Amino acid sequence: QAGAVDAIMFSNEASLPYLTDVDTVTVAAMARAIGELKSEISAPFGVNVLWDPMASLDLAVAVGAAFVREIFTGVYASDFGLWDTECGRVIRHQHAIGAENVRLLFNIVPESAAYLAPRDLADLAKSTVFNSRPDALCVSGLTAGTETSSQILRQVKDAVPEVPVFANTGVNAENVAEQLAIAD
């Protein structure tokens, strides 16, 4: 916060291998940790219960998070198995639990996964924005901590200039200027 960050993200990055239906204990532990820290946080914060968008939204409501970063759209083959995100069901859940004010950051290039049917990334970004109305799009590298490709980041940003696009992984002191020249 003192370093002028725009927001803070809480995520269960170390819960490998990831689940698409996360155990309640993971969400409870994250809620406890965030609850203990919340009084010390002045920046907006968000949550991501890795690869479970429903649990991510539930946690966001429970702890008063401003946003959720998650993979909301698509059907994937991944290192962790097949996975259907069921975006329509997730968005309806968002409204059912009163989380309309929680901003949704859609990761459209999930780590360790690929769309079952290959699609052009620009078309994917455009259809995601049209069909699902994300608050922002996130573009990732191959794994957590891996630098986001500037070329892929540019392709997404050029396709949907009206939507914020974030470099989701691997931004560091050496590449931050290059990444921020493209990303929002």
Residue 119 φ/ψ, nearest 5 degrees: -135, 150
What are the tens digits of pLDDT across the range 2-44? 777 899 999 999 999 999 999 999 999 999 999 999 999 999 9
Residue 3 lies in a domain: no
Asked whether residue 81 is domain-assigned, the answer is yes
Distance, CA of 58 to CA of 93 (rounded, Å): 9
43-75 pLDDT, tens digit each: 999 999 999 999 999 999 999 999 999 999 999
Q: Cα 121 vs. chain centroid, distance in angstroms?
A: 17
Whether 23 is in a domain gets the answer yes
What's the domain count of the chain? Answer: 1
Nearest residue to 132 (alpha-carbon basis) of 151, 108, 153: 108
Say if 89 falls within a structural domain.
yes
Q: What is the pTM of this model?
A: 0.94
Q: Which domain holds residue 28?
A: 8-180
Is residue 76 assigned to a domain? yes
CATH of the domain at 74: 3.20.20.390
Give the pLDDT mean for 104-112: 92
Q: For position 109, what pLDDT does the model report?
A: 84
Helix 121-132 with 150-159: angle, nearest 10 deg:
50
Model confidence band, residue 145 (pLDDT cutoffs 50, 70, 90): confident
Q: Please check whether residue 39 lies inside any domain of the structure.
A: yes
Is residue 2 in a domain? no
